Structure 1
Amino acid sequence: MSVEILSASIEYLKGVGPKRAELLKKELGIFAYDQLLNYYPFRYIDRTRFYKIRELNPELPLVQIVGRITDKKTIGEKHKKRIVARLSDETGTIELVWFQSLKWVEENVMRGKVYIVFGKPNLFNGTFSISHPELENYPRPAGVTGNLTLQPIYNSTEKLKKHFLDSKGIQKLVGLLIEQHIREVKESLPPYVMEKYKLISKREALLHIHFPGSAQMLQDAQRRLKFEELFFIQLQLLGSKQQRNLKFKGAVFDKVGAKINTFYKDILPFPLTGAQKRVIKEIRLDTHRGIQMNRLVQGDVGSGKTIVALMSMLLANDNGYQACMMAPTEILARQHYQSLVSLLKDDLVKVAVLTGSTTKKQRTLLHEQLEAGEIDILVGTHALIEDKVKFKNLGLVVIDEQHRFGVEQRAKLWRKNSIPPHILVMTATPIPRTLAMTLYGDLDVSVIDELPLGRKPIETKHLFESQRLRMFGFMKEEIKKGRQVYVVYPLIKESEQLDLLYLEAGIEQMRYQFPLPDFQISIVHGKMSNADKQYEMQRFVEGKAQIMVATTVIEVGVNVPNASVMVIEHAERFGLSQLHQLRGRVGRGAEQSFCILMSGNKLTREGKLRLETMVKTNNGFEISEIDLQLRGPGDLSGTQQSGVLELKMADLAKDQAILQEARNMIIEIFEQDPVLSLPQNHLLRVYLERKNQGITFDKIS
Structure 2
Amino acid sequence: MTALGLDDRLDGVLGAKTAGVFERAFGFRSVGDLLSHYPRRYARRGDLTVLSELPMDENVTIVAQVVEVNERPMRARRGSILEVLISDGNGALTLTFFNQSWRANDLKPGRAGVFAGKIGSYKGLNQLAHPTYELFEPDAPSGISPKVWAETPIPIYPATAAVTSWVIQKSIALVLDGLGPIDDPVPGDVAVAERILGLRDALERVHRPQDDPDWKRARETLRFHEAFVLQAGLLQRRLSERAERATERAALPGGALERFDAALPFDLTDDQRVVGAEIAAELASGTPMNRLVQGEVGSGKTLVALRAMLAVAESGGQSALLAPTEVLAAQHLRSIVASLGPDLAARLAPVLLTGQMSTAERRKALLRIVSGQAQIVVGTHALLSSGVEFYDLGLVVVDEQHRFGVEQREALRRKGSIPPHVLVLTATPIPRTVAMTVFGDLDVSSLRQLPAGRQPIESFVVPLAEKPLWIRRAWERLSEELAAGRQAFVVCPAIEPGEKIAAEDGAESPADDGDGPGEDARPPLSTVSVVLEELRAHPSLAGRVIEPLHGRMTSDEKDRVMRGFADAHIDVLVATTVIEVGVDVPGASMMVVLDADRFGVSQLHQLRGRVGRGGLPGLCLLVTNAPEETIARDRVEAVAATLDGFELAQVDLELRREGDVLGSAQSGGRSSLKLLRVVSDSDVIERARRFALDLLTDDPALESHRALRDALERRLDEQTRAALAKN
Question: Do the two structures share a fold, i.e. TM-score over 0.5?
Answer: yes
Shift of 1:45: 1.4
* C-alpha distance in 1 between matches for 2:17 and 2:384: 47
Q: Percent identity between the aligned chains?
A: 35
Mapped to 1, the partners of 2:537 and 2:70 lie a distance apart of 70
Q: Residue type of the partner of 2:684?
A: I
Query: Does residue 174 in structure 1 map to residue 192 in structure 2?
Result: no
Question: Does 1:589 find its partner at 2:614?
Answer: yes
CA distance in 2, matches of 1:660, 1:150: 31
Deviates more, 1:348-357 or 1:539-548: 348-357
Match status 1:251 vs 2:251: no
* Paired position in structure 1 for 2:188: 191
Distance, in Å, in 2 between the alignment partners of 1:95 and 1:407 is 47
Of the three residues 474, 477, 485, the one matched with 2:477 is: 474
Q: Distance in 2 between matches of 1:644 and 1:656?
A: 22
Change (3 A) 1:97 1:302: closer
* Aligned counterpart, 2:556: 531
1:621-677: CA deviation from partner (whole Å, max 9, x where unpaired): 332333334156768689899x98511222233322222222222122223334434
Query: Retained in 1: the 8 A contact 2:321–2:377?
Result: yes
Deviation at 1:264, TM superposition (A): 5.7
Amino acid at match of 2:194: Y
1:293 to 289, 314, 333: 289
Q: Which amino acid aligns with 2:708?
A: L
2:418 paired residue number: 419
1:97 is displaced (CA, Å) by: 9.8
State the distance in 2 between where 1:141 and 1:29 align. Answer: 38
Q: Does 1:323 align with 2:323?
A: no
1:241 is aligned, of 238, 260, 276, to 238
Aligned match of 1:699: none
Where in structure 1 are there 5+ consecutive unaligned residues? 161-165, 694-701
Cα deviation, residue 302, structure 1: 0.6
Report the alpha carbon displacement of residue 442 of structure 1 after superposing the two structures with TM.
Answer: 1.5
The match for 1:557 among 564, 578, 582 is 582
TM-score by length of 2: 0.79
Q: 1:522 touches 1:539 (CA, 8 Å); kept in 2?
A: no
1:683 aligns with 2:711: no
Contact 1:488/1:550, CA 8 A, preserved across alignment = yes
CA distance in 2, matches of 1:644, 1:104: 38
* Equivalent residue in structure 2 for 1:663, among 689, 696, 711: 689
Note the C-alpha offset of 1:596. 0.3
State the Cα distance separating 1:22 from its structure 2 match. 3.1
Residue 344, structure 1, aligned to residue 340, structure 2: yes
Query: Which one of the candidate residues 616, 633, 645 is aligned to 2:641?
Result: 616
Cα deviation for residue 344 of structure 1 reads 2.1
Q: Deviations over 1:527-564 (max 9, x none)?
A: 43332232222211110111111245325211101101
1:509-524 alignment to 2 at 5 Å? 509-513=534-538, 518-524=543-549
1:227 aligns with 2:253: no
The CA deviation at 1:183 is 5.0
Q: Which residue is equivalent to 1:136?
A: 137
Q: Which residue of 2 aligns with 1:647?
A: 673
SS in 2 for 1:399: strand
Note closer, same or farther for the CA distance 1:269–1:214 as it changes in structure 2 (3 Å cut): farther
Match of 2:39 in 1: 41
Distance 1:232 1:117 in 2: 41
Q: Shift of residue 443 of structure 1?
A: 1.7
Instruction: Name which of structure 1's ranges 422-431 and 136-145 shifts more when overlaid on structure 2.
Output: 136-145
Query: What is the identity, as a one-letter code, of the residue corresponding to 1:468?
Result: I
Q: Kindly provide the CA deviation profile for residues 393-439 of structure 1, in whole angstroms up to 9, marking residues without a partner as x.
A: 33222221234445554444334443221111212233343333333
Change (3 A) 1:44 1:364: closer
Ranges in structure 2 where 5+ consecutive residues have no aligned partner: 55-60, 116-121, 502-523, 718-727
Does the 8 A contact of 2:494 with 2:527 survive in 1? no
Quick one: distance in 2 between partners of 1:388 and 1:30? 36
Residue 454 of structure 1, CA deviation: 2.9
Instruction: Tell me, in whole angstroms, the C-alpha distance in 2 between the residues paired with 1:243 and 1:504.
Output: 50
| Equivalent residues in 2 for 1:3-42, closer than 5 Å | 4-11=4-11, 13=13, 16-42=14-40
**Selected match of 1:628 from 638, 653, 658:** 653
| Kept in 2: contact 1:297–1:426 (CA 8 A) | yes
Q: How does 1:359-438 map to 2 (within 5 A)?
A: 370=369, 373-385=372-384, 389-405=388-404, 407-438=406-437
The SS at the match of 2:574 is: strand
Does the Cα contact within 8 Å between 2:223 and 2:676 map onto a contact in 1? yes
Residue 480 of structure 2 corresponds to residue 483 of structure 1: no
Give matches, 1:30-69, under 5 Å: 30-47=28-45
After superposition, the Cα gap between the structure-2 partners of 1:133 and 1:489, relative to the gap in structure 1 and judged at 3 Å, is same
CA offset digits 1:459-507 (Å, max 9, x no partner): 1101133202211221122112211010111127994499998334323
Q: Deviations over 1:113-158 (max 9, x none)?
A: xx884579xxx9xxxx999894434566445998652211123332
Aligned: 1:283 with 2:279: yes
Matches of 1:669 and 1:439, distance apart in 2: 20
Residues 254-285 of structure 1 show CA distances to partners (whole Å, capped at 9, x for unaligned) of 44432355346521222222221221122122
SS in 1 for 2:173: helix
Inter-partner Cα distance in structure 2 for 1:86 and 1:487: 51
Aligned residue identity for 1:670: L
**2:495–2:550 CA contact under 8 A, matched in 1:** no
Q: Name the amino acid aligned to 1:136.
A: E
CA distance in 1, matches of 2:181, 2:194: 24
Matched, 1:154 2:157: yes
Residue in 2 aligned with 1:566?
591
Query: How far apart, CA to CA, are the structure 2 residues paired with 1:638 and 1:332?
Result: 25
Distance 1:364 1:103 in 2: 73
Equivalent of 2:352, from 328, 351, 354?
Answer: 354
CA distance, structure 1, for counterparts of residue 372 and residue 71 of structure 2: 91
Conserved 8 A contact 1:239-1:688: no
Structure 1 residues 644 and 419: alpha-carbon distance in aligned structure 2, compared to 1, 3 A threshold = farther
Contact 2:46-2:150 within 8 A present in 1 as well:
no
Inter-partner Cα distance in structure 1 for 2:473 and 2:168: 58
Contact kept in structure 1, 2:546 and 2:573, CA below 8 Å: yes
Match of 2:604 among 579, 585, 594: 579
SS of match in other structure, 2:195? coil
Moved more, 412-421 or 577-586: 412-421
Alpha-carbon displacement from aligned partner over 1:1-38 (angstroms, at most 9, x marks no partner): 9875545554554xx54443432332233444433322
Aligned alpha-carbon RMSD (Å): 4.4
Q: Take 1:393 and 1:557, find their aligned partners in 2: how far apart are those partners? A: 27
Question: Structure 1, residues 39-75: CA drift from partner, whole Å, max 9, x if none?
Answer: 2211111446699xxxx9977996778x9x9xx9997
AA at the equivalent of 1:456: Q
User: Which deviates further from its counterpart, 465-474 or 345-354?
Assistant: 345-354
CA distance in structure 1 between the partners assigned to 2:70 and 2:543 by the alignment: 81
Task: Give the counterpart letter for 2:245 in structure 1.
Answer: K
Task: Tell me, in whole angstroms, the C-alpha distance in 1 between the residues paired with 2:439 and 2:216.
Answer: 29
Q: Which amino acid aligns with 2:429?
A: P
- Is the 1:226–1:649 Cα contact (8 Å) retained in structure 2? yes
Letter in 2 for 1:459: E
SS in 2 for 1:39: coil
SS of structure 2 residue aligned to 1:345: helix
- How far apart are the structure 2 equivalents of 1:27 and 1:95? 27
1:260 and 1:311 in contact (8 A); partners too: no
